[in-house]
Structure 1
Amino acid sequence: MFLLVLLHVLQSAVSTRSCPSLCVCSSGVTEPRSVQCSDPRTSALPVNVPADTVKLRLEKTSITRVPRAAFYNLSELRFLWLTYNSVTSVHPSSFVNLKALRELRLDGNLLTAFPWEGLRDTPRLQTLGLHNNRLSSLPAHAALFLPNITYLDLSSNKLTILPAELLDLWFPLPELQEGPVQRKILGLHDNPWLCDCQISMLTSLSASVGSPVVLMDQLLMCSRSVGRSGLLLTQAELSRCMRPSVQPAATRVVSPLGSNVILRCDASGYPTPTLTWIKTSAYTGCCQQDLLQSSEQLPRILDTFLQESPRVGVRWSIISLNGLSYKDAGEYRCQARNMAGISEAPIKLRVMGIARLSGVPKKKSPKTLTKSSPKYRKPLRPPASNNLKGKATLKTTSGPPSLQNNAQEV
């Protein structure tokens, strides 16, 4: 018993000696280690934080920047709070080696931009708080680093536009959903939103039954609505929203085996729709054995295609199939999607086999006539002549009659 008490005292002494200055460290037998630094005189991140720290809180300090690999030695860190400081910049590699991080809060700082790509170093992150900063834009590529985030607070910033890529992340197509839908909590209120179709559809979809998104506050204010300001989103006039319309170049395509074919469709709508190609079924009109040998799971979303948007509200897409085989045959669907709705058009592709010739028919050779043949006629013999020069001429001429006459006249 005495040894256990002595060991606990030694551990406490070591913990006290390793605690950064102007900070408070605590840990117990059942509690993980936590470090809290909230002294206004702290102007830089502490460098001697214990390596086994699970929760680190840096609040109400004078820290202005988070440098590269700032928490590299804290591989067990799960909670990182950098709230209500004076942070103006965060390096994209600030969170390297934080594989166990679950919660990151940067509320109440002076951030005008956030390094979204830095979240790839925190694969288990679920909570991200950016409330009360100065963020003025939300880039489309942020959607690439938010698939596991279930709590995102962007309230009280200067955001005006919500990218369509984020809406696709929060409201995925049924074909793209893997497993059960995980609900997400979003804080978007207290921003000067430009009331467009994106933000309008977000609020309407979040209010629907079984929505994967829950808004902290449904009353979003349109501070930059066209021609009006200070208008609640529920009262905004959004006449520009238009459900996408899809027009394929052809609805039925027949192409021979081994050839190349291009399938194209055009879509219009507002906001500008995104296009997706889906193969929904295989062609079963012929060649059953070939189809069985090369069977594939359908429907299947195709990821190899090209699409461009020449102007706002218009988008076209093509998919190129080279060296057609029977497995390429079937029905393809061009699906257009925006926040006003979804439309699609089918294109049926049929692959025709090339018939092989069994053999080339031989030409009949002319029959040789004999004396006994009824059509046989005795050839005429040229008149005899004592002119040797004429005999030589007859033997050497074999051209047309005109040439023969000329030869005979020589």
Structure 2
Amino acid sequence: MGPLLCCLGIAALLCRGLACPGPCSCSTKKNGRLLAECAYKELPEVPQGLSPNVTILTLSANRIGWLRRGAFAEVPEVQSLWLGYNQISGAEPGAFATLVELKNLDLSHNKMVTFPWQDLRNLSGLQILKLNNNRLAGLPRDAFQALSELRSLWLNDNQLTTLADGTFHPLPSLSQLQLFNNPFNCSCKLFWLKRWAESTSVSLTKGGSTLCAAPGRLRGRAVTDIPAQQCVAPSVQLTYLSKLDNTVLPDGLTLSLHCSVAGSPLPQIRWRIQTPGRGVEIDGPNVARDGSLSPSGRVKQSQERFLVFKNGTMAIPKFSKEDEGIYTCIAVNDVGTREVSVNVALAGSENPAEDLLQDDPHASPLGGRSCYKGDEMDPVGAGEKLVIVYHVPREVKGTAGGAVPRVGLATLLLALGIALGW
């Protein structure tokens, strides 16, 4: 009786393992994998009733137009999923997220405008991804962040005009990439792809057909032909500006920092200020040509303290201890980003030069003003320390007997530190 029950049990398992929707044909491969063959069946959607043990699912050449969330929840063990030559225009987030065993995904020759890129975070074992011959116009920079096993990526024949810097960097196993027949705009935003293509060991299939569609002067030329001299990463230099004379400054010290940038295209300047009491981000000038502050609706209250001019200068009137902190100038263009930071401190002393040399044995001779060389970028963006020692003088009596604070050359000192990490 025992052997009979055992045989019946095995038969039941086999029957359950071969459960198959009507339009499909299912079979067991020699390697033990279950195949569900549902191609060329005019199916408008993913069929229901598939066995949870299916590892190969073929749905090519049907009429599927959309993939809903959980469309493949019944087949969590699928390793190869073929969906080519359908009419799929998009997929909801979560459509593929349950397929954690997936190794091969073919969505080629569809009409996909959108794709749930976040689903790829669950597909860490994916080895082949075919998205070619669709209508994809872009993809996020971190789209392939989790695909450390991906070997072959097909993106050709889409509507891609650019790709974010570093798109393919998270793919250590990549050996084949297809990008041809996309209308690439070969601006400096795509210059990183030229450099990557020249240094990578990845095979760019039909690399010569990866052509520029714009701008006009580069139309028809290979992406790898973008002229290097037209795309130069930013360099940045930060200097301290001061009027070192005996001018009376009744309103106190005005700190001025000037950020000089170079690059092609000309970089935009942004500022980041971190003081003990606040952090401020300023994306551009807030002072108009006539010297007036931009309308209050465009300038946050936290930014009004810092006057940023179009020429790259920042001024902080009535600079005080509350304004001490790290001031960072950030230069941004289509090729990349560079930044330099200075640590500004305020101190008082009867003999500031003596105190400065005691506090900072690396201080440069007095009168130094440049605090960063843009071509010698600190990779961590820490920059050099800038220490300002501001001597608060004794009151000087004016002609009317009033007390007027006076600031002179000997009372305002600038010291240059050594770049962090050098």
Name the TM tier (shorter chain): 0.5 to 0.7
Distance 2:217 2:270 in 1: 35
Distance 2:256 2:173 in 1: 39
Distance 2:68 2:211 in 1: 36
| 1:312-358 superposed Cα distances (whole Å, 9 cap, x missing partner) | xx999x9xxxx99x9x89xx986757674675545355686999xxx
**CA root-mean-square deviation:** 4.6
AA aligned opposite 2:207: Q
1:109 maps to what in 2?
Answer: 110
2:23 maps to what in 1?
Answer: 22
Match status 1:224 vs 2:248: no
AA aligned opposite 1:60: A
Distance 1:247 1:100 in 2: 51
| 1:160-216 superposed Cα distances (whole Å, 9 cap, x missing partner) | 222xxx3234358xxxxxxxx8243432111121122233431332222xx375533
Structure 1 residues 2 and 334, CA gap change in structure 2 (3 angstroms): farther
1:81 maps to what in 2?
Answer: 82
State whether residues 126 and 148 of structure 1, in contact with CA within 8 Å, keep that contact through their aligned partners in structure 2. no
Equivalent runs, 1:4-15 vs 2, <5 Å: 9-15=11-17
Match status 1:195 vs 2:186: yes
1:43 maps to what in 2?
Answer: 44
State whether residues 131 and 155 of structure 1, in contact with CA within 8 Å, keep that contact through their aligned partners in structure 2. yes
Structure 1 residues 97 and 268, CA gap change in structure 2 (3 angstroms): farther
Distance 2:155 2:23 in 1: 31
Structure 1 residues 95 and 233, CA gap change in structure 2 (3 angstroms): closer
2:204 maps to what in 1?
Answer: 215
2:301 maps to what in 1?
Answer: none
Q: Which runs of 5+ in 1 are unaligned?
A: 173-180, 252-260, 279-303, 356-410
Equivalent runs, 1:5-404 vs 2, <5 Å: 9-16=11-18, 18-27=19-28, 30-122=31-123, 124-135=125-136, 137-139=137-139, 142-149=140-147, 150=150, 151-162=152-163, 166-171=164-169, 182-184=172-174, 185-208=176-199, 211=200, 214-219=203-208, 220-227=210-217, 229-237=219-227, 240-248=230-238, 250=240, 269-270=263-264, 306=281, 308=283, 340=335, 343=338, 345=340, 347-348=342-343
Tell me how far 1:57 sits from its aligned partner: 1.9
Tell me how far 1:32 sits from its aligned partner: 2.5
Tell me how far 1:98 sits from its aligned partner: 2.8
Distance 2:104 2:266 in 1: 35
AA aligned opposite 1:130: L
| CA radius of gyration, larger in | 1
Distance 1:101 1:132 in 2: 21
| 1:131-169 superposed Cα distances (whole Å, 9 cap, x missing partner) | 11122x214xx223420233432111122222xxx3234
Aligned residue-pair number: 298
Tell me how far 1:74 sits from its aligned partner: 2.5
Structure 1 residues 233 and 75, CA gap change in structure 2 (3 angstroms): closer
State whether residues 83 and 106 of structure 2, in contact with CA within 8 Å, keep that contact through their aligned partners in structure 1. yes
Structure 1 residues 353 and 224, CA gap change in structure 2 (3 angstroms): same
State whether residues 246 and 345 of structure 1, in contact with CA within 8 Å, keep that contact through their aligned partners in structure 2. yes
Report the secondary structure of 2:194's partner residue: helix
Structure 1 residues 241 and 36, CA gap change in structure 2 (3 angstroms): same
Distance 2:48 2:284 in 1: 50
| 1:105-138 superposed Cα distances (whole Å, 9 cap, x missing partner) | 2111111232323434545545432111122x21
Distance 1:81 1:59 in 2: 6
Structure 1 residues 75 and 265, CA gap change in structure 2 (3 angstroms): farther
Distance 2:8 2:27 in 1: 18
Structure 1 residues 197 and 46, CA gap change in structure 2 (3 angstroms): same
Distance 2:235 2:219 in 1: 31
Report the secondary structure of 1:90's partner residue: coil
How high is the TM-score relative to the length of structure 1?
Answer: 0.57
Q: Which runs of 5+ in 2 are unaligned?
A: 242-254, 273-278, 286-309, 315-320, 351-422
Distance 1:19 1:57 in 2: 13
How high is the TM-score relative to the length of structure 2?
Answer: 0.56
Identity, % of aligned positions: 27
State whether residues 41 and 61 of structure 1, in contact with CA within 8 Å, keep that contact through their aligned partners in structure 2. yes
Distance 1:104 1:263 in 2: 54
Distance 2:50 2:311 in 1: 53
Distance 2:261 2:87 in 1: 47
